[in-house]
Amino acid sequence: MAFELPPLPYSRDALAPHISEETLNYHYGKHHQAYVNNLNKLIEGTDHENAPLEQIIKDAAKDSSKAGLFNNSAQVWNHTFYWHSMKPGGGGKPTGAIADKIDADFGSYDEFAKQFKAAGGGQFGSGWAWLVLKGGKLEIRKTPNAETPVTEDGATPLLTMDVWEHAYYLDYQNSRPGYMDAFIDNLINWDFVNQNLADAS
Ligand code: MN3
């Protein structure tokens, strides 16, 4: 059973002007597709051929000889999670349970936004910023390259922001802060975050 590129939850031009159709043509249509294709080649004829994606990621993370399998499987998962972390007309202050939880654990939405942006900006080179639930508390993470909280015991990912240059270079060139502002103010899908929080609780 080969993996397939999961459908985007919106059309490729739906996030414009914050993220352009051209960016999604490359980022979703080429990069994400390439991770899926590479993963399928790497698992073909192996014990992982019929394994769930999360199991492949966790197994590969424990074996340094399987770096290619880890990178491609984790990037398939991370990107699918990232597409769902955004929606047209999203961003800004959340509502629902996540709003109360952010106030309780960060003090305010502004403090959350500041820390989330600092995580993305502080990730030198390629990587990801995350909001996770661990031990009943919200925490922010940054991870390099393909690394993902999926491998962290007890941590549930709630939200992610891709800070690889391929996520923003066509629209923002070198300005990662400009991309991160657009993500936080205009794109975060708080419905998805609320659903992940509810599933984890
Ligand atoms: Mn990416």
pLDDT per residue rounded down to tens, the chain (201 residues): 699 999 999 999 999 999 999 999 999 999 999 999 999 999 999 999 999 999 999 999 999 999 999 999 999 999 999 999 999 999 999 999 999 999 999 999 999 999 999 999 999 999 999 999 999 999 999 999 999 999 999 999 999 999 999 999 999 999 999 999 999 999 999 999 999 999 998
Q: What is the CATH number of the domain that holds 51?
A: 1.10.287.990
Neighbours of 173 (CB within 10 A): 11
User: End of a domain among 84, 108, 136?
Assistant: 84
26 Cα to the center of ligand 1, angstroms: 10
The answer to the question of residue 146 being in a domain is: yes
Residue type, 107: G
Distance CA 110, CA 142 (A): 18
**16 in a structural domain:** no
Residues 196 and 117 in one domain: yes
Count of alpha carbons within 13 angstroms of residue 51, beta-carbon side: 20
- Residues 53, 147, single domain; the answer is no
Say how many Å lie between the CA of residue 103 and the centre of ligand 1.
30
- Ligand 1 centroid–CA 104 distance in Å is 31
Question: From ligand 1's centre to the CA of 107, what distance in Å?
Answer: 30
Q: For residue 148, how many other CB atoms are within 10 A of its CB?
A: 25
Residue 9 domain flag: no
- Tokens standing for residue 69: 């399998």
31 located within any domain: yes
pLDDT of residue 201: 80
CA of 42 relative to ligand 1 center, distance in Å: 20
Give the Cα-Cα-Cα angle 191, 176, 79 (nearest 5 degrees).
45
Helix (H, G, I), strand (E, B) or coil at 116: helix
Could you tell me the pTM of the whole model? 0.97
In a domain, 53, yes or no: yes
Main-chain dihedrals φ then ψ at residue 138, nearest 5 degrees:
-75, 135
Alpha carbon of 24 to ligand 1 centroid (Å): 10
Query: Residue 178 belongs to what domain range?
Result: 97-200
Same domain, yes or no, for 112 and 41?
no
Q: Tell how far the Cα of 78 is from the centroid of ligand 1, in angstroms.
A: 8
pLDDT at res. 177: 97
Domain presence at residue 6: no
Domain finish residue from 33, 52, 84:
84
**Same domain for 164 and 115:** yes
110 Cα: distance to centroid of ligand 1 (angstroms) = 26
What's the domain count of the chain?
2
Q: Are residues 131 and 186 in the same domain?
A: yes
106 and 71 in one domain?
no
